């Protein structure tokens, strides 16, 4: 059998392994890791399947290719959600960061208005009910576009968002 069959089969199996791998709902991603995984699975594995001189070893690589693809995608998702994962490797979602910042500015304004109206000091902390609602400063509590959670904080502090790289 021609050697060229091996990389073709390997590529087809890598594709099916990638199609079967789970996706994750949150918007975390890492272009650098994506690139590495793509090169490894879609280029390196088929090239190895073609180049390895021993046919048994080469076919073993072909058979293992979808499992490697599936497993490395699982690992990728785990690694992305690891707390110590370096943020410089993560992709930026600039529009979400900007929209979130606009929300936080609005919340900060509502806190200041609340503090003035209720004669509060910098160490007082408003609750959601103080700021949001039909009779409050903002009709509905703003939502972070990346599903972060807002902490209002004290009057003297800036409100914050739990999403990575979100904040004032």
User: Using CB under 5 A, which of the segments 31-39, 46-54, 67-75, 137-145 binds Zn ion?
Assistant: 137-145
Taking the C-alpha atoms of residue 32 and residue 68, their distance in angstroms, rounded to an integer, is 19
Q: Does 45 bind Zn ion (CB under 5 A)?
A: no
- Name 124's Cβ contacts closer than 8 Å, sequence gap at least 6: 115, 154, 155
Q: Does 11 bind Zn ion (CB under 5 A)?
A: no
Based on CB atoms, which residue is closest to Zn ion, 41 or 144? 144
Among 11, 33, 65, 100, binds Zn ion (CB under 5 A): 100
Letter string b/e over residues 132-141, b meaning 16 or more CB atoms within 10 A of that residue's CB: beeebbeeee
Question: By the 8 A CB rule, do 73 and 21 touch?
Answer: yes
The H or E element spanning position 73 is: helix 55-80
Q: Does 161 bind Zn ion (CB under 5 A)?
A: yes
Question: What would the DSSP string read from start to end of 27-57?
Answer: ----HHHHHHHHIIIIIIHHHHHHH-SSHHH
Q: At its nearest, how many Å lie between Zn ion and the CB of residue 120?
A: 25
Q: At its nearest, how many Å lie between Zn ion and the CB of residue 25?
A: 16
Q: Does 104 bind Zn ion (CB under 5 A)?
A: no
Based on CB atoms, which residue is closest to Zn ion, 107 or 163? 163
Taking the C-alpha atoms of residue 20 and residue 127, their distance in angstroms, rounded to an integer, is 45
User: Using CB under 5 A, which of the segments 18-26, 29-37, 117-125, 136-144 binds Zn ion?
Assistant: 136-144
Q: At its nearest, how many Å lie between Zn ion and the CB of residue 112?
A: 20
Q: Does 152 bind Zn ion (CB under 5 A)?
A: no
Taking the C-alpha atoms of residue 72 and residue 66, their distance in angstroms, rounded to an integer, is 10
Q: Does 115 bind Zn ion (CB under 5 A)?
A: no
Residues that bind Zn ion (CB under 5 A): 100, 144, 148, 161, 163, 166
């Amino acid at each position: 059998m021609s050697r060229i069959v091996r990389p073709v089969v390997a590529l087809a199996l890598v594709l099916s392994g990638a199609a079967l791998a789970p996706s994750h709902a949150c918007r975390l991603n890492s272009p650098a890791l994506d690139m590495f995984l793509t090169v490894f699975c879609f280029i390196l594995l088929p090239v190895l399947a073609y180049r390895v001189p021993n046919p048994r070893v080469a076919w073993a690589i072909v058979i293992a290719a979808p499992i490697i693809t599936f497993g490395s995608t699982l690992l990728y998702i785990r690694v992305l959600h690891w707390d110590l994962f370096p943020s410089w490797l993560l992709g930026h979602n600039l529009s979400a960061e900007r929209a979130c910042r606009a929300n936080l500015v609005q919340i900060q304004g509502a806190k200041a208005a609340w503090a003035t109206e209720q004669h509060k000091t910098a160490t007082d902390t408003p609750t959601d009910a103080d700021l949001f609602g039909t009779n409050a400063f903002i009709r509905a509590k703003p939502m972070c576009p990346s599903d972060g959670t807002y902490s209002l904080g004290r009057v003297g502090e800036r409100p914050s968002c739990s999403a990575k790289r979100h904040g004032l």
